[in-house]
Structure formats: C-alpha cells, structure tokens
Structure 1
C-alpha cells in the first residue's frame, strides 16, 4: 500500500514561504495532479515528498511510515523529470536497465523487466539506439520506461511533457493515462497545464502562492470552482468573470444585465462558461460590440467587453461577424456562478 499523507507540510527559505501548512492524503493507486502557475509551490511539494528538499515543518508519510529523515533512495519512489536525464553513451536498453544495476536487482531478472517496460511504452524497436538518435517523444518514453522498470511504490512526475511539441504532448499524455491504468501505482504529477490536469487526474490539487485553493475531481473543480482564481485557471477558455451589482435577482454591469440570479444583494463577481452561453439575434443579456472572432474549426469564439472583462462565447462553427459589429449574447441564469467581490470565494446558493 502506498498511501501518501502530508501533515502541515511547510517549506520556508528565510522569510519566504514556498509551501504553507499543506494537509493532503493521496490514496493508494491514485493519480493526483498538482496544478498551478509558476512559483505556486507544486514542484517544491513534490521535491519534499521525494526527499530532494527538506521540509521546514510537518510530516510526510508513505505507506504509513514517516519518511522525513530518509534519503531519496530509501523512499521507494521513481521520478520522471522535464529533462529526460538519459545517459548519452548508453543505448535505450542500457538506459532502461540502469536502475536495476544500481539497486543490485539479480541480473537474471533484468532482461524480462527491461523488455516489459519497453513494450509498455512501445520502444522495443529502438532498444539499440542511443538517446541522440531519438525524437523528444521517444526520449521521454525512455525516461518513463526507466521509472517503470524499478516497479516503485510511487511515481513522481515533474512537468514531463513540457519539452514536447503540441502533437507529441497529446500522444504521450494518452500513453501516461494508459500506463496509469495498467500499472496501478500511486502517482503525483506536477504541471502548469490545466488540460493535462483535467485529462489525467483522478483528483486535482490547485495551488497558489504555496496554499491549496481546491482539491477535487476534474469534474468537481470545473463545475464548482471554489474561488475566482480556480474559475479563471481551469477551462479552455477559462470561465468568464464579470464584476457588477446584484439587486433583487438582477445582475448588472458594463454591457450586461442578467435576471433570475439567486444570490445576496451587493457587489459580486458573476461567472459562466463560454459553452453555456449563446449568440442570439435579439434579446440578449449581454449587448456589446464584437471585440474579436476566432475560428476554431468545430466552433467560432466571439469575444466582447462586458462587466469590466473580456468575455467569450462559443458560437456555431459557421457563425461570422465583423469586429466592431454589435452582438447579443444569452446567458441563462441557471448556469451562472457567483463569487464574493472582496475575497473571490464562491457564494453557495439554494437554487
């Protein structure tokens, strides 16, 4: 069992706090993603779990054992980094095999374990090549195979796809997802890419300035963001967020008036997803000049200025409009989210 428990985990450098009193339990065999912008503390959290950074305060438990004082090699973890860290003088077979030699695994087991790992990442035809003869995606698969061959209790993956181009990221992401299902090993994955988080994770942990903002499944975080930071970080495009006043169930702001909103009177931030609104011929809740139009193939994204923000809506793929031309957007009250204007926290409503 490789349940991981973080208790009041904190990392400080002088007066700067990189991670602040993090409490989190990662279930055995769970695929957990730490997500957030650069400098939010996600990589520092992973490095403390790995033993590459010493915690200033708090406890790290892996499989019920406190590991704070253990060296990285004694924590039974395997890491996959942004940089592939392959040995250029070794071929693919020897790169994958290397962890077995270091850990003194009986030589009789090496070939079977190397071949199994190579098959899992589709590298069997490249075993005699050296890293310099491989593409970026192939080198990342070698790094994955080298982690798999160890058969660890925990995988730690730190931005493993960030050096790949867009097409390779998609295919390698699918491979990691399939491997996670097949291997059933507790995995912590660090990324700043919310698409990776949403597609890979059992649960997502969103961090900001060393503090956890929300923990939940991708669906929970997408459908019920805890605050405006999460709402503005998750989704492609991110949730539209408009500032305005709510009075008697009517939200009003720059170029916007939406009736039927259930919430307390006063200053609020109203949010909605681009795919939940629609362009209409007349009677829209948002009426404004078109700021821009983007053709995406399967849809057309239309943006306007409303509620002090740039607001986007997803229209039909054949929809066309000139920049500057007036557009009307319908925003159903039932799909709107409300947030406190001062702190940005979600306002829960009865209906």
Structure 2
C-alpha cells in the first residue's frame, strides 16, 4: 500500500499545456477518482503517475520515494485499461498468470495466486476459455484479475467500464467497489462518467483544461459545487443555471423573482437542482410554460425555458401535464446556489454559508 503525492506537476507538449501545476495528496488505501471531460488532463495525470508519460515539471512521490525517473515496472503499481489488453492466444488462466511469469515470481506461488484473484472477480468457471469466448464484462474481469494477481501497492484504472453496456457497468462497478474494500489498496480511477465518480470515490478531483476545479467527497462536490463548471458537470440532470440580476436583494430573470439575502447585487448566475424545488398549483418563484415532460418511473422530469436556459424540475412520479401548459415552481432559499457571472466562481448560497474554497491556477488541492 502507498501514499501518492503530486507536487507542482505539469505536462506540456510545446506550447500546449495538458496538466498545469497540479498538487495532490492521495492517502494510503484511498479510492480517488479523476473526473472530467475529454482532454481535461485526467488520463495524462494517471499516465505520469504510472511512468508512461514523462513529467515536464514537478515531482511524483509513491510512498517515501520520488519516482520521476523510475521505469513503470519499478513503481509497484498495476494498471487496468479501457481496452482490456488481453492476449488472445492465452487462456483466462494464463492471462491472469502472465504478470507473475514476467516478474519472476516463484512458480510454486502461481496457482494459488491466480485462483485467488479469479475467485475475487468470479471467473472460476471460465479459466480454460480464451478471450474471444468471453463477453465484454468477463474480459474486463480478466483484466481486473490480472491486475490483482500482482498484489501491487496501488491500482490505476483508466475508464475500465466505458466499453460495457449499462447493466454490466452497474454490476462491474459494484465489483470494483467490493474489491477495493477487500484489498485496501490505493486506487486512482479515471472517468468522464460522474455516476461512476459519485458511487466509487472516497474523494473526487474534478478537472478541466488541465486544472483542478474542485477536490472533495462526492457529497461535498454535489451539494456545494465550487463553480459553474462543476455545477454543470455533476448531477443527472445537471444543476440548473440561470443568468439574471439582483436588485434590492431580489434576483430577477425571465419568469423569475426570488430574494437573495446575501448582500450581493448586479449580474449573477443562480443555480438550483431539479430535485430541490417543487411544482405548485400557483404562485412560486418561477413561472413558465412546459417545454417537455419525461416519465422516469420514480419521478417525472419537467422542462421549461427561462431565457436561453433549459430548466429541469423533478416532480412526483404521478405528475402529469401537457407541453405548453403553465408551470409554477416553488424554490426554497436552501435550494439556491449563487455564482459570479463573469468568473463562474461560487459566491455563497441562501443558507448563509460562505463559499467553498476553489482551486486557482496552481491546482492546489
């Protein structure tokens, strides 16, 4: 097991900056998720930790050693890739066993370790098959077992579920969660899927354009996003963000008027989540016409337009309406988030709590 530290780490290719002055401490046995859109720097960060990319500036520590100049094989980490990377001519058993052979582990230990790793991911009945005879989910489990069998200090996982269908993602996600609980190894997991991040992580690093936007527990990031990027990236549906102006303590936008007791004035971006507000028969702080209605089974998702913004409201599962019908929504003060219009940074919210500290260009976490 190992603590991993990144100190002022940057990665550049000429004038292009992939990761910008990244600082992060990952605790021993922590499950940390790097989350962000394509091109945000999350995979580059993982590849630098693995030794697959050189660091332009800064230091990477694994345990009590700087590993910048160590080969990947000498860092005592194991990677699980999106593409599985299995040998098609080898059986499942031999694919799992392969890391033991190349690392010179005594042959007397191989069978016990392979069987133990295979049992952890429920591959016992498939050990004699070759990868071509396996489903996508089974192949991903072989890749996990091959990573487990090495018994490394840390696991690095690069979007391991992205090739699976929705049902397999759910079951494999649960398996990864259980494996981490069992193995208690430091794990760094890269994904663009915020549901994976919220369900798996002890902490989440939200990245964009090579910078850390926010670091925190899934609950902290969901409940108090540091800026409009995080607010729009986390949640399904994403947080509603509406541009308007505050005058005399009242926020106003098309079809909206509600008090903002924060001492702010002028142009702001107001946010609220679909599940934190309520459809009411009349009145409320938002009035509009229904743009669409979607039945989700456990709820009804109603959309309306406020200026250019498409706003989502989660109503009761038996709520019914028609497109074009009037819609009235009550927005409690506790549901409101307030962001600076120009910078996108969180100002505060109607709970009176101060704004959460956000990252600067240093990417300090």
Decide: shared fold, TM above 0.5. yes
The within-5 A match list for 1:147-296 is: 147-296=147-296
Q: Secondary structure at the match of 1:347?
A: strand
319-328 vs 251-260, greater mean Cα deviation: 251-260
- Report what 2:145 is aligned to: 145
Q: Is the 8 A contact 2:262 2:348 kept in 1?
A: no
Shift of 1:307: 5.0
Q: Is the 8 A contact 2:19 2:41 kept in 1?
A: yes
The within-5 A match list for 1:49-88 is: 49-88=49-88
Does 2:9 match 1:22? no
Shift of 1:249: 2.3
- Report what 2:360 is aligned to: none
CA distance in structure 1 between the aligned counterparts of 2:233 and 2:279, rounded to whole angstroms: 24
Q: Is the 8 A contact 1:340 1:347 kept in 2?
A: yes
- Report what 1:328 is aligned to: 328
Q: Is the 8 A contact 1:19 1:45 kept in 2?
A: yes
Q: Is the 8 A contact 2:277 2:330 kept in 1?
A: yes
Shift of 1:335: 1.4
CA distance in structure 2 between the aligned counterparts of 1:113 and 1:13, rounded to whole angstroms: 41
Q: Is the 8 A contact 1:275 1:314 kept in 2?
A: yes
Q: Secondary structure at the match of 1:225?
A: coil
Cα deviations by residue, 1:16-63 (Å, 9 ceiling, x for unpaired): 000000000000000000000000000000000000000110000000
CA distance in structure 2 between the aligned counterparts of 1:109 and 1:257, rounded to whole angstroms: 70
CA distance in structure 1 between the aligned counterparts of 2:345 and 2:14, rounded to whole angstroms: 30
Shift of 1:188: 0.3
CA distance in structure 2 between the aligned counterparts of 1:322 and 1:158, rounded to whole angstroms: 44
Q: TM-score, normalised by structure 1?
A: 0.98
- Report what 1:10 is aligned to: 10
Structure 1, unaligned runs of 5 or more? none
Cα deviations by residue, 1:261-294 (Å, 9 ceiling, x for unpaired): 4341111111011000111100121111101100
Shift of 1:82: 0.3
Q: TM-score, normalised by structure 2?
A: 0.95
- What value does the CA root-mean-square deviation take over the aligned residues? 0.9
Q: Secondary structure at the match of 2:347?
A: coil
Question: Alpha carbons of 1:263 and 1:193: their partners in 2 closer, same or farther (altered >3 Å)?
Answer: farther
CA distance in structure 1 between the aligned counterparts of 2:156 and 2:218, rounded to whole angstroms: 20
CA distance in structure 1 between the aligned counterparts of 2:164 and 2:337, rounded to whole angstroms: 35
The within-5 A match list for 1:83-94 is: 83-94=83-94
Cα deviations by residue, 1:83-105 (Å, 9 ceiling, x for unpaired): 01101111100000000000010
Q: Is the 8 A contact 1:246 1:263 kept in 2?
A: no
